[in-house]
Amino acid sequence: MRQLRMAFPGAYEGGRRRVARRSYAHFCAEVVGTFRLVGARRTEIRGRTRLNGEEVLQEAAREGRGVMLVSGHLGNWEVGAAGLVARGFPMDIVLARQRNVLFDRYLARSRQRLGIGLIPREEARHGVVASLKAGKLLGIMGDQDARRAGIFVDYFGRPASTARGPAVLSMRAGATVATFHTVRRAGWKPRYDIYIEPVTVAEEGRGRAAVAAVTRAFTDRLEERVRQYPEQYLWHHRRWKTPPPGERNPEPR
């Protein structure tokens, strides 16, 4: 509830609690759906997903460029990645280790069976650049607290420490940057919309201003989607845990 209170300070408490309940129910259902995804054929996965923005990926492929796909904990990102691979796009993701070792192993094997390549987080600096230079899609989360190593950009009107990696590594590889969000459509059948939208900024080059602009752009895009589908967002992550230098932690008790 803390994160919902920070994101929607003007909303009434009952509404926030309803979003929290629906978010919990959504992710319980999506975990089950992700388990079932492993045995699905590519034709079935394509049938469950609708891709918006495929032209962004096709254009990058024609130019021989990789695409940095910056996502967030919204909807079902596992289904989104499977939907792209099922359409013939080679894709790697940066692997975040799970606390439960057995679940971590299962998730890694499941992704590999679906044809998704895995880059361990500790190897991300070199692995991401190599993947992008090879012309692949590279999926990475952009909505986790990056502690003191991050850059502060506004998220729901509050400064949030955000990883520089997506911007810095895509620039180093000469890759296209796009946001990548997968949301479940209304209805009892598991059907999803995948949204690929290019990130364009006025700042050029690879300096701090350009990194900040790209980071701000993909964060703003995620916020727009979360406001559309708040019940499909994972709210338990402490997004504003790290305050800007000289400020106190703004999270309500």
pLDDT tens over the chain, length 253 residues: 889 999 999 888 999 999 999 999 999 999 888 888 878 899 999 999 999 999 999 999 999 999 999 999 999 999 999 999 999 999 999 987 777 777 778 888 889 889 999 998 888 889 999 999 999 999 999 999 999 999 999 999 999 999 999 999 999 999 999 999 999 998 888 899 999 999 998 777 778 999 999 999 999 999 999 999 999 999 998 999 999 987 777 665 5
Strands 192-198 and 49-52: parallel
Give this prediction's pTM. Answer: 0.93
Residue 137: phi and psi, rounded to 5, are -85, 145
In whole angstroms, give the CA distance from residue 219 to residue 179: 9
Give pLDDT, residue 14: 92
In whole angstroms, give the CA distance from residue 21 to residue 48: 25
* Residues in contact with 13: Cβ distance below 8 Å, sequence separation at least 6, in sequence order: none
In whole angstroms, give the CA distance from residue 85 to residue 127: 19
Give pLDDT, residue 250: 67
Q: Where are the domains of the chain?
A: 2-232
Give pLDDT, residue 252: 58
Give pLDDT, residue 202: 77
Across the strands, what pairs with 152? 161
Q: Residue 244 has which token pair?
A: 């800007």
Query: Cβ distance 100 to 31 under 8 Å?
Result: no
Give pLDDT, residue 63: 95
Give pLDDT, residue 37: 85
Give pLDDT, residue 104: 77
Residue type, 100: N
**What is the end-to-end Cα distance of the chain in Å, rounded?**
10
Nearest one of 221, 246, 251 to 235, comparing CA atoms: 251
In whole angstroms, give the CA distance from residue 175 to residue 135: 8
In whole angstroms, give the CA distance from residue 21 to residue 42: 32
Nearest one of 124, 141, 170 to 239, comparing CA atoms: 141
C-alpha torsion 166→169→175→176, nearest 10: 20
Give pLDDT, residue 247: 79
- Please state, in angstroms and as integers, the Cα–Cα distance from residue 70 to each residue in 51, 99, 102, 143, 199, following that order: 16, 23, 27, 9, 10
Q: How many residues does the chain have?
A: 253
Give pLDDT, residue 103: 74
Residue 35: phi and psi, rounded to 5, are -60, -40
